[in-house]
Structure 1
Amino acid sequence: MENHKKNYWMFKKTIFLLLIAVSSVSFAQRIKIDKKKLAFLKNETKVAVKLTFPEDLIIYSLHPEKEFIENMKKKYDRKDNGNGDKWYQTYQTAKKETWRDAFLAGLHERLKTYSDLEFVTNDQETNYTLIIEADWIYTGYGGSASVGREEGKLETTLRFVKTSESDSEVYATQAPKVIGNYAYGEFGDIERIRECYNKLGYLLSLQLKRVLK
């Protein structure tokens, strides 16, 4: 009986500590917004989304994007000659479409439960555009095994601008470092960043509820 009680309290303590850890991570990844400055969203039905990547973007650790691309092409060519070009095409598509679509999916999963506002691709006509500027990207590493792997990480600045005047910034906020779910595949580095953008969309949807509901 004594051991049973001891195990029971150890179990409760473990659950309690786990809940604290989860809450801490959620709070650390919370996007800060200004409800008053974003109030204009209540009058909109659609907002465009555009991803941008500055020329001085740092990827992985301390590598400028150009150096990162060359390293990755060589890496995949060593595995299978010609695979480096395939990786590069996949990477370019990810920057234009894949990561944006992952963000939209993560955002709408929760947004649609409390608002009719849609965030759409930037080829649609809208009054406002959300520009997601990448500040820093970490691709993570590892394969299908659970040992020796790490999730991707992402830092961005979110800028709402008038679509007709991209320099007319209405509101901007710097998102915290987002840790995506782990992913692997033929090009796991690209997949793990996709998960980061998906998480970013989800985190934004949590905050927009304060504005739109």
Structure 2
Amino acid sequence: MKKLLSFVLAMTMTVAAMAQKVKIQSGDLKFLKGEETVNVIFDYSDMKLLKENYTEEQYIPKRLEELNKKVEGSGDIWKKQWERSKEELWNPKFITIFNKTLEKEGIKMKLKENVQTRYTLKVNVKWIYPGWDAGIMKQAAKVNTQLVFVETATNKVVCDIDSQEAPGDQWGSNFNNETRIGEGFAKTGKTLAQKIEKEVK
């Protein structure tokens, strides 16, 4: 009975964490019809972390010390993983899942970094909650972003989208914070692609 109750609680927490909210603040996505490539830029400069809204400069030394107190050297290993996560995990997850989602729907548009295109997508990362996993009980990561499409030449905003609490989780256990966060970026990319598909197909 206790195991069943724990399972139900875990599932309830997972479902509750999946309530992503996406809202177009201005403009629409119809301008993307016929576009084959869109440049994408990721901006972490205003990112906050956890419920305390730590800056990255506050979060890293705090987490580093916390982990090193538990197991000597583990914080130093984590710091290296964290510093690589943006370029090697989070950004690629967003781009890859976005592109695969549109390809599946027969839409040829793709996101690419460092290309000269008519439009640019700015992924402004606003807030991250890493979540946690204790085996039976867990809570998904959450990722908040502002997704802004601009005309590359003029920087004029053509569409501004607010994405709140994109859930980052996988079936089974996932004890790595950075991987869970990466799933939140994947979910954000997929949801954006689905919105585009509805307006341009």
Give the TM-score taking structure 1 as reference length. 0.75
Unmatched segments (≥5 aa) in structure 1: 1-21
Amino acid at match of 2:146: T
Q: Percent identity?
A: 26
Q: Does 1:150 align with 2:139?
A: yes
How far off its partner does 1:208 sit? 0.9
Relative contact order, higher structure (CA 8 A, sep 6+)? 2
Amino acid at match of 2:167: I
Q: Does 1:50 align with 2:36?
A: no
* RMSD of aligned Cα (Å): 2.6
Determine the structure 2 residue equivalent to 1:77. Answer: 68
CA distance in 2, matches of 1:168, 1:67: 33
CA distance in 2, matches of 1:171, 1:100: 20
Determine the structure 1 residue equivalent to 2:9. Answer: none
* Contact 2:21–2:165 (8 Å) recurs in 1: no
CA distance in 2, matches of 1:126, 1:103: 19
Give the TM-score taking structure 2 as reference length. 0.79
Determine the structure 2 residue equivalent to 1:16. Answer: none
Given the alignment, which residue of 168, 175, 198 partners 1:180? 168
Deviations, residues 110-150 of structure 1 (Å, cap 9, x unaligned): 21022000111x2222222111111211111124x123x21
- Give the SS at the match of 1:126: coil
Unmatched segments (≥5 aa) in structure 2: 1-14
- Give the SS at the match of 2:22: coil
Inter-CA distance 168–85: structure 2 relative to 1 (3 Å threshold): farther
* Contact 1:51–1:96 (8 Å) recurs in 2: no
Amino acid at match of 2:185: Y
CA distance in 2, matches of 1:172, 1:95: 22
Mapping 1:1-213, distance limit 5 Å: 28-29=19-20, 31-33=22-24, 37-55=28-46, 57-62=47-52, 63-114=54-105, 115-120=107-112, 122-143=113-134, 145-147=135-137, 149-165=138-154, 167-182=155-170, 184-185=174-175, 188-213=176-201
More strand by share: 2
* Contact 1:50–1:100 (8 Å) recurs in 2: no
Aligned length: 184
Amino acid at match of 2:75: G
